[in-house]
Structure 1
Amino acid sequence: MNFDFDPETEEMRAMVVAFARRDLGGDGTYRTREEFRRRWQLAGKQGLVGTTVPAADGGSGLDAVAAAGLMEALGHGSPDTGFAFSVAAHLFAACMPIVEFGTGEQRQRWLPALASGERIAAHAITEPEAGSDALNLRTRAVRDGDAYVLDGDKCFTTNAPVADVFVVQAATAPGAGFFGLTTFLIEAGTPGLTVGPRYDKLGLRGSPTADVHLEGCRVPAANVLGAEGAGAGIFSSSMKWERTCLFAVYLGAMRRVLESTVTHVQEREQFGSPIGGFQAVGHRVVDMTLRLESARLVLYKAASGLAAGSDDEVAPALAKLAVSEAAVQLGLDAVQLRGALGILGGEAETLLRDALPSRIFSGTNEIQRNNVARALGLGGRRAPRRR
């Protein structure tokens, strides 16, 4: 085991932190689509939006460990966790399915522009009546000659207001379960595809999110990703990337807030001495550090398995659980240690708001626990004991 990055990756991480501090500041509010795209293109020039896309397809060709390292650096350097979340969602939930399942023509058509920052991708699967129950989609895709006609509604779609291409999951065989879903690549502006107004969210405000409506949307059969009926497998694969590498953004954000919290308790004085010297405060900071370092180890273990080609779905689920729960608690602790200042605008309350959604997206934490329990052989009926 090696717990250190190689020198090249460390150099890239330092460059990402410096870039994020210089160019990605702000509170995550964007007045125009153009303003968001300007920042996106800057991230593209740094190679961040195409980190794991192969070099032959215009990306950097990095593995999951290095990619997680760069996402962690992005979260560490930028106070706008929402923007970092959008970058990671584009890369791991939308680009990687094209990398892993796209035809040569699809890869050539989409990946170079997506990896460079010229274009933005969104993955649309969640529906008003199908969140955790992802195999029970109501969006339908019906074959009509050399095309499919899609009808349905998607919600909570990250990057929808700014996306150039949508990776859309729809049911081609309703009721067929795992083999009933199919994945489509749909270009923005396709007749029948419309995007609703941008959400006003509790957290991750720098990540533009909206509903996607499909009504008689005609998609060429050549835009099917993988094969008909392969949608659930494609989604599962993308979630392994997302539950591992995307959550590295939160590791960086936690590190940034922990560092500022240490500075705060060293400088803030009460009763004639810095509050960091009080045992209750010191122990809370130690617990924050423990949560961060423990979650980090779990995540990089999952990233190492992903880089090695492992099919294990338990490690990504555990990484998602560990990081999201640690981020929420670290945010609460950071607010508490700042006292009244903690409930004003600043890093602590922002981390807490940004961390709360992490227990819901990419599969709720309850679903992750179900998945891990099932992998451990729990949850099924116990065989009757023989007398």
Structure 2
Amino acid sequence: FFADLLEDAAELGLQRLMVTADGHPDMTQMPQALQVTEALSAHSPAVALGIAGTRLSCYLLGKYAPEQLRKQWLEPTLSARTFGSFAITEPEAGTDVRGMTTVAVPDGEDYLLTGSKCWVGFAPIADFAIVLAKEGSTDRDAPMVALVVDMASPGASGNAGPELSGFRGMPNGELHFSGVRVPRAHQLQTEGFLGMMDGLNMARIDVAGYASGLLRSALLASLERANARSAFGKTLAHLPIIQRKIGRIAADYHAARALGKRAADSFTHGSGGDQDLISMAKMFASDAARRATDEAMQIHGALGIVADEAVNRMHRDAKVTQIFDGTSEIHETMLGRRALRAHAAGSLAPFVDSLPVTLSGAEHR
């Protein structure tokens, strides 16, 4: 784990890019934060995730947590002295959030929290966790609360999960709660599901940044290999098939960055961003990164399948971006469903009906 690098990043102010001096969120800095995420991810997506994960927990604290919790956790976390987790996913409930069974049962001025979360960043070392739970019952349609849980509380624990193929070095694992007493006041001051989805939108924009960074590193690695490696008396750079691969990677890189910027710009308005743009940016960039890193491995030949080679690590990291914070298939489905439902109702979804001009019949002639 790269705790020393997170401390260095904190000294540079990278974790507090989106926090004002008085501890409130500054959404206008989302585009700048995305640029930082991309730049770091070109070298280490795991370090970028460590910084972005801290920004996420601090964003939710600053925007929704009561003052006493902001005082307790915000500054130590921004300074990389404490770590916070963002916990939604469960062993039997991933994309199907309504299927989760973690429950917060009211008990006087407290909740009794019981359940488990998995695939949670910082889980083995978390000092606190922002946990989505059903309130009072595990019924599918039960209301939800988002609780800020002190992981030193009796009955709360975290442990490392299975070793992941990508984003290695970033702590990840499980959180367990067995009748943990959490004051009712220690909840995000918004409807729990909506507050966590606000945070998830931010996380998805960062995924577009991880993927864009991987696209850039795949492009640079491919350029270097193509000009350095010779075959049949010429460098690989002279082969049209290699030129086509590199041209496609470059185009995907610019397209991913453009979509990511639009998604980040939408987040600056303070309403959680444009869900459609965010889904597009996350889905397109992660899929493009997987294609690009696959091509980079091909260009590297046998070196590409050496586990310690940079392009092999990029390929494994890129796959992770297609999975977490909503799989590519889920984002495809959500976008397609919205477009089809709007069309069936006699209109167009905003992301379909967004041309800057409308062509008249005369313009078609």
1:315 matched to 2:277? The reply is yes
1:324 alignment partner, one of 282, 286, 301: 286
State the AA in 1 paired with 2:29.
D
Aligned to 1:83: 47
In the TM superposition, 1:30-179 aligns within 5 A as: 30=1, 36-57=2-23, 63-76=29-42, 78=43, 80-92=44-56, 94-174=57-137
State the AA in 2 paired with 1:365.
S
Aligned to 2:170: 207
Q: Give TM-score, length-normalised by structure 2.
A: 0.88
**Are 2:158 and 2:173, in contact at CA under 8 Å, matched by a contact in 1?**
yes
Per-residue CA distance 1:197-224 (angstroms, 9 max, x = gap): 3431111112111111110111111211
**Are 2:219 and 2:249, in contact at CA under 8 Å, matched by a contact in 1?**
yes
**Are 1:50 and 1:59, in contact at CA under 8 Å, matched by a contact in 2?**
no
2:311 alignment partner, one of 348, 357, 372: 348
SS in 2 for 1:135: helix
Aligned to 2:199: 238
1:271 matched to 2:251? The reply is no
State the AA in 2 paired with 1:306.
F
Q: Give TM-score, length-normalised by structure 1.
A: 0.83
Per-residue CA distance 1:183-209 (angstroms, 9 max, x = gap): 011122111111123431111112111
Aligned to 1:10: none
SS in 2 for 1:315: helix
Q: CA deviation at 1:124?
A: 1.1
SS in 2 for 1:39: helix
Aligned to 2:296: 334
Matches of 1:175 and 1:153, distance apart in 2: 13
**Are 1:159 and 1:210, in contact at CA under 8 Å, matched by a contact in 2?**
yes
**Are 1:49 and 1:115, in contact at CA under 8 Å, matched by a contact in 2?**
yes
Q: CA deviation at 1:371?
A: 2.0
Per-residue CA distance 1:5-56 (angstroms, 9 max, x = gap): xxxxxxxxxxxxxxxxxxxxxxxxx4xxxxx322221121121222212222
SS in 2 for 1:363: coil
Q: In the comparison of the two structures, how many residue pairs are matched?
A: 344
Matches of 2:344 and 2:155, distance apart in 1: 46
Aligned to 1:293: 254
Q: CA deviation at 1:156?
A: 0.7
Aligned to 2:147: 184
SS in 1 for 2:98: coil
Matches of 2:27 and 2:255, distance apart in 1: 28
Unaligned runs of at least 5 residues, structure 1: 1-29, 31-35
Q: CA deviation at 1:376?
A: 2.1
Matches of 1:68 and 1:206, distance apart in 2: 21
Matches of 1:59 and 1:369, distance apart in 2: 30
Matches of 2:26 and 2:342, distance apart in 1: 42
Per-residue CA distance 1:111-150 (angstroms, 9 max, x = gap): 1222222221111110011101012210010011111101
Unaligned runs of at least 5 residues, structure 2: 347-365
Judging changes above 3 Å, is the alpha-carbon distance between structure 1 residues 234 and 178 closer, same or farther for their aligned structure 2 residues?
Answer: farther
Per-residue CA distance 1:336-359 (angstroms, 9 max, x = gap): 000001111211110110111111
Per-residue CA distance 1:296-315 (angstroms, 9 max, x = gap): 11111111111133542101
Aligned to 1:258: 219
RMSD: 2.2
Matches of 2:317 and 2:301, distance apart in 1: 19
**Are 2:25 and 2:63, in contact at CA under 8 Å, matched by a contact in 1?**
no
